[in-house]
C-alpha cells in the first residue's frame, strides 16, 4: 500500500512546528519527492524513507519555499552514495530556478555526482509528468503569482490517487485534477491573491468529490474556527502536521 508523507506543512513563514510544505509518495520500490524548499532529505530520514528508493523530484513552482533546498538535496543524496541519474520534473520556470540555484555552488570536485535530468512539464490540464509500473502522475496549472502546477499521483495497482494543489487561488483546473481523489492535499495560506483560504479549499474538495481533505502551506496560527466551518463542506477535513503519513 502506498504512503503519502507530509515532510513539511508550513507556508513560507509558519509556526515553530512546521517547515515549508514538501511531500513524498512512497511504495515498496520507489519514492517520489515533491518540492524541496527546506531540508527534504532530513525529513525523509525522520520518516524512515529509504533514500535509495528516490525515483524523481517534482518542483511545483519557482518560489524559494519550494525550490531553494535543491542544492542541499543534491549534496545529501550524493553523500548517501546515490550515483544513478535523478529526473527532476517541473515547469520550465521552476527548472530554471533550480538550475540557477544549484549552479551557484562549485560542485566540480564532487566526484560521482548524479546526473540531473531536467524534464519539463507542459503547462496545461492533465499534462503527463511521469508514468511507470508504480505511479501515474499528471499535472494541471494553478493560479499563483508565478507559473505553478498541482499534481495528481495515482497508484496504478489500486487506482487510488492523491491530489496536491500546490500554491494557488481557488482553481477550476485544480478541482478537475482532484476529481474523485482519495486525499486532496490543498494549500490554505489564507484568502488573498495567489492563495486559498481554509473554507475555499474545503469547497474545492467537496466540488471534486474528494474523500478527505488535508490542509497544508499553513500560516503561523491556522484558525480552528475556520476549520470547523470547512467541515460543513467536507467532514473529513484536517490540518496537516509535519511528519504526518497517510496510506492510500
Compute how many other C-beta atoms are within 10 angstroms of the C-beta atom of residue 241: 15
Alpha-helix runs per DSSP H in 80-180: 92-103, 172-177
User: Which cell goes with 158?
Assistant: 489500486
- Is 246 inside any structural domain? no
CATH number of 122's domain:
3.60.15.10
pTM of the model as a whole? 0.98
Confidence of residue 207 (pLDDT cuts 50, 70, 90): very high
- Residue 248 inside a domain? The answer is no
Q: Residues of the chain with pLDDT > 90: what percent?
A: 100
Describe the crossing of helices 92-103 and 70-79 by its angle, rounded to 10 degrees: 60
**CB-CB contact of 165 with 185 (8 Å):** yes
Domain of residue 96 covers 3-240
15 — pLDDT class (breaks 50, 70, 90): very high
DSSP state letter for 129 = E
Segment 159-169, tens digit of pLDDT: 999 999 999 99
Q: Which residue, 6, 16, 121, 111, is CA-closest to 58?
A: 121
Predicted local confidence at residue 152, as pLDDT: 98
Residue 56 lies in a domain: yes
Q: Per the domain annotation, does 14 fall within a domain?
A: yes
d(CA 182, CA 248): 7
Q: Does residue 154 sit within a domain? A: yes
Confidence class for position 11, pLDDT limits 50, 70, 90: very high
CB-CB contact of 58 with 146 (8 Å): no
Q: Identify whether 245 is part of a domain.
A: no
Q: Which residues have a Cβ under 8 Å from the Cβ of 196 and sit 6 or more positions away?
A: 165, 168, 169, 170, 186, 187, 188, 189, 190, 204
Mean pLDDT of 109-115: 97
Residue 247 lies in a domain: no
In a domain, 235, yes or no: yes
Q: How many domains does the chain have?
A: 1
Amino acid at each position: 500500500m502506498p504512503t503519502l508523507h507530509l515532510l513539511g506543512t508550513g507556508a513560507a513563514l509558519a509556526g515553530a512546528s512546521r517547515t515549508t510544505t514538501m511531500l513524498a509518495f512512497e511504495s515498496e520500490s520507489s519514492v517520489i519527492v515533491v518540492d524541496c524548499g527546506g531540508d527534504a532529505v532530513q525529513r525523509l530520514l525522520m520518516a524512515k524513507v529509504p533514500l535509495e528508493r528516490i525515483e524523481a523530484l517534482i518542483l511545483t513552482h519557482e518560489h524559494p519555499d519550494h525550490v531553494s533546498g535543491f542544492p542541499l538535496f543534491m549534496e545529501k543524496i550524493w553523500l548517501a552514495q546515490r550515483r544513478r541519474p535523478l529526473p527532476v520534473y517541473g515547469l520550465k520556470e521552476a527548472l530554471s530556478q533550480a538550475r540557477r540555484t544549484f549552479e551557484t555552488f562549485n560542485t566540480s570536485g564532487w566526484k560521482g555526482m548524479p546526473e540531473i535530468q531536467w524534464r519539463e512539464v507542459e503547462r496545461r490540464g492533465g499534462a503527463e509528468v511521469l508514468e511507470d509500473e508504480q505511479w501515474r502522475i499528471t499535472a494541471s496549472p494553478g493560479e499563483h503569482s508565478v507559473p505553478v502546477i498541482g499534481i495528481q499521483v495515482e497508484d496504478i495497482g489500486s487506482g487510488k490517487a492523491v491530489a496536491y494543489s500546490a500554491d494557488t487561488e481557488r482553481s477550476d483546473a485544480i478541482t478537475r485534477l482532484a476529481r474523485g481523489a482519495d486525499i486532496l492535499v490543498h494549500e490554505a495560506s489564507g484568502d488573498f491573491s495567489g492563495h486559498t483560504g481554509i473554507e475555499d479549499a474545503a469547497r474545492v474538495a467537496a466540488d471534486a468529490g474528494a474523500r478527505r481533505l488535508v490542509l497544508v502551506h499553513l500560516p503561523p496560527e491556522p484558525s480552528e474556527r475556520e476549520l470547523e466551518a470547512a467541515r460543513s463542506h467536507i467532514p473529513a477535513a484536517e490540518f496537516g502536521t509535519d511528519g504526518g503519513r497517510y496510506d492510500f
